[in-house]
Chains A and B, each alone.
Chain A
Amino acid sequence: MLKIENLHVEVDGKPILKGIDLEVGVGQVHALMGPNGSGKSTLSYVLAGRDGYDVTKGRVLYKGKDLLEMAPELRAAEGLFLGFQYPVAIPGVSNIYFLKAALNAIRAHRGEEPLDAIDFMKLSKEKAALVELPDELTKRAVNDGFSGGEKKRNEIFQMAILEPSLAVLDETDSGLDIDALKVVAKGVNAMRSPERSMLVITHYQRLLDHIVPDVVHVLIDGRIVRSGDKDLAKQLEEKGYSEVRDAPQL
């Protein structure tokens, strides 16, 4: 699904990612953990195609294609989804309208007919129920006046509607209370399928209790220093990053 090879990225001439190798197979869920500022969001933005990131070395293959060559909207149309760490508010643009436009743009790319208003409403109701997002929020302007937790739920709601092949979820758990965390995890788990891959960025083991990853990676200072199974996350929680980094790779 996703193959990152020796990826080096700079922002304003400052190296942030310093040689990332990462492969996510079809149907796999990988977790990416790492201290603040280690480059997790940078990686997610580079994958989604945001401006301002200089790829100085390496490449990224997505479904066998050169991902970095594609415009952000093309990546989305090809099934890549980024759940933002900090979803931006867009006053004046209604959530539901925007999602319908997004879904229909993606459908058009796949050569499918646009979904009409009625079918879309049905879909939206169903998915909103999945993440327990109140109806009123689906209709408001995108993330405008949403609480931190509501924004994160809205991200998962969008993912559920767009049904991506690869979801990169950047700290979808931060800012969530315990119940909301369960709801979001339930939404994500409902989306797990043999065809869908996920890269889940998180600081906390507790999310991974709900969304059990196939592989866990530790990113420190722009490099993946350790990879392992779900127990690696537990070790991190107990021992902290420095000890895990310095321990010999098993």
Chain B
Amino acid sequence: MTDATRQTLLGSLPTSFDTGPEWLRALRGRAAEALREQGLPTKRTEAWRFTPVRSVVSAEFSRDDRGVPSLASSLPEGVTARSLRQVLQAEPELLEGRLDLGGAPTHFAALNTALFSDGLWIDVPAGTIVERPIELTHAIPTSSDSSVVYPRVLITLGDNAELTLIETYAGTEVGPLTNSVVEVDLSCNARMSHARIHENAGLQVGRVDVRQDTDSTYRSTVVTLGGALLRFDVRCMLQGKGAECQLDGAYLVEGDDHVDHHTTVEHQASHCRSAQTYRGIVSGKGTAVFDGLVVVHRDAQKTEAHQENRNLLLSETATVHTKPHLEIDADDVICSHGVTVGALDEDQLFYLRARGIPEDLAHSMLTYAFLESIVDRVSHEPTRARMREALLARMPHREEIRGVT
């Protein structure tokens, strides 16, 4: 089902939505309406200030409906993975209220909501503990140089359920645009580890919205290896008391790539904890953006929220924009944030060289160790190994530094 007509993203919005259940038509209608009113972001849109999407907004794309995520692993017992399209046809009531977890979508997410044609719904019923990870791949079509795909994934975990999800986004072409939305709904005491690898992601705008109920835990590790233009947002809404999220990220930006990570943690209930740790290496003419926001709502007493973003700039033409910010409306909270942007540590470099390690190898060792410390926090060993290999594949001296950490 490839629509060969090329249109701008906004131009591709239909004037009315005629298929699917009533609530979905309304949801899509609202998303389209919001888009018509607000348009897609520009440089003047605060949250998109550093993301150069102008060329994407004005470009013409053709819809490619093959861009649905696919399961790369067999499904563990007890878990269901169903096509969104099929559920929407057969039992639409199951999805009502679950495709706008994050509230009214805006910008690219609204576009996805209005236009996605299929996707996946992975459900882990209450009490089900999935030990083996589920893997999703989003292969970006390369046939047409200017297609757009709208991957859509919904993950629901019942009470006490546990899941490890690995998502990989890969593609080598600059032309196609991936505009993905992943929504995660964690019930009481559910735990999810979410690993996400962006490899050569081309043009990519993606977001993950997570709604967390009481005592649930969400751990996300994002590894971004380049991207002509990559914008990734993750947002956790801590709605139940005692919920926890840990958002980690590592990015490696080279050439004239632009890689942009935004995190939002909303502390809406008391006794919740959040920690964000993003680290990046930027070289060449690359640009990296980190924007981390923690919002502590008035009733969210006993909140603990930490934020850290550290960057290594390896060339004079590389750029980092980093902005951790806190909006705190409660008084009994522990919050911290820290940012660094710097070069490799000269003393460390000299120490290694003084022991006989050639300068370029010492360089690779230190840069790899810097990012690997993020990957090292992933508890699932095979996932960790995968991420390490993905990182190593981008590093000079990969064989020699494999065991460095």
Cβ–Cβ contact B373 & A91, under 8 A: yes
Q: What's the nearest-Cβ distance from chain A to residue B240, in Å?
A: 35
The residue from A77, A92, A142 contacting B356, defined by CB atoms under 8 A apart:
A77
Cβ–Cβ contact B365 & A73, under 8 A: no
Cβ–Cβ contact A76 & B354, under 8 A: yes
* Closest chain A residue to B400, Cβ basis: A101
* Closest chain A residue to B372, Cβ basis: A92
> Which stretch from A21-29, A47-55, A178-186 is at the chain B interface?
A47-55
Q: What's the nearest-Cβ distance from chain B to residue A103, in Å?
A: 8
* Closest chain B residue to A48, Cβ basis: B354
> Which stretch from A81-89, A226-234, A237-245 is at the chain B interface?
A81-89
Tell me the B301-349 residues at the A interface (CB within 8 Å): 345-348
Tell me the A133-183 residues at the B interface (CB within 8 Å): 141-142, 158, 162
Tell me the B348-401 residues at the A interface (CB within 8 Å): 348, 350-359, 361-362, 365-366, 369-370, 372-373, 400
Tell me the A84-110 residues at the B interface (CB within 8 Å): 84, 87-88, 90-94, 97-99, 101-103, 105-106, 109
Cβ–Cβ contact B351 & A84, under 8 A: yes
* Most A Cβ at <10 Å: residue of B354, B355, B358, B362: B355
With A92-B370, A93-B405, A98-B365 as given contacts, are A76 and B356 in contact (CB-CB < 8 Å)? yes
Cβ–Cβ contact A101 & B373, under 8 A: no
B404 contacts the other chain (CB 8 A): yes
With A73-B357, A92-B370 as given contacts, are A101 and B351 in contact (CB-CB < 8 Å)? no
A187 contacts the other chain (CB 8 A): no
Residues of B within 8 A of A99 (CB): 355
Cβ–Cβ contact A105 & B351, under 8 A: no
Residues of B within 8 A of A77 (CB): 356
Q: What's the nearest-Cβ distance from chain B to residue A115, in Å?
A: 13
| Residues of A in contact with B, size category | 20 to 34
Q: What's the nearest-Cβ distance from chain A to residue B281, in Å?
A: 13
Q: What's the nearest-Cβ distance from chain B to residue A21, in Å?
A: 24
Q: What's the nearest-Cβ distance from chain B to residue A104, in Å?
A: 9
Q: What's the nearest-Cβ distance from chain A to residue B359, in Å?
A: 7
* Most A Cβ at <10 Å: residue of B359, B361, B362: B362
The residue from B356, B372, B403, B405 contacting A73, defined by CB atoms under 8 A apart:
B356
Tell me the A69-84 residues at the B interface (CB within 8 Å): 71-73, 75-77, 82, 84
Extra pairs beyond A93-B369, A102-B356 (9, CB < 8 Å): A71-B353, A72-B354, A87-B351, A91-B369, A92-B372, A93-B404, A98-B352, A102-B352, A105-B358
In the assembled complex, 16 residue pairs joining A and B whose CB atoms fall closer than 8 Å, in A order, are: A48-B354, A51-B350, A73-B358, A73-B359, A76-B355, A76-B356, A84-B351, A84-B354, A91-B369, A93-B366, A94-B403, A98-B355, A98-B404, A101-B400, A105-B361, A142-B351
Chain A residues near B (Cβ < 8 Å)? 48-51, 71-73, 75-77, 82, 84, 87-88, 90-94, 97-99, 101-103, 105-106, 109, 141-142, 158, 162
Q: Which 3 A-B pairs have the closest CB atoms?
A: A92-B369, A76-B356, A102-B355
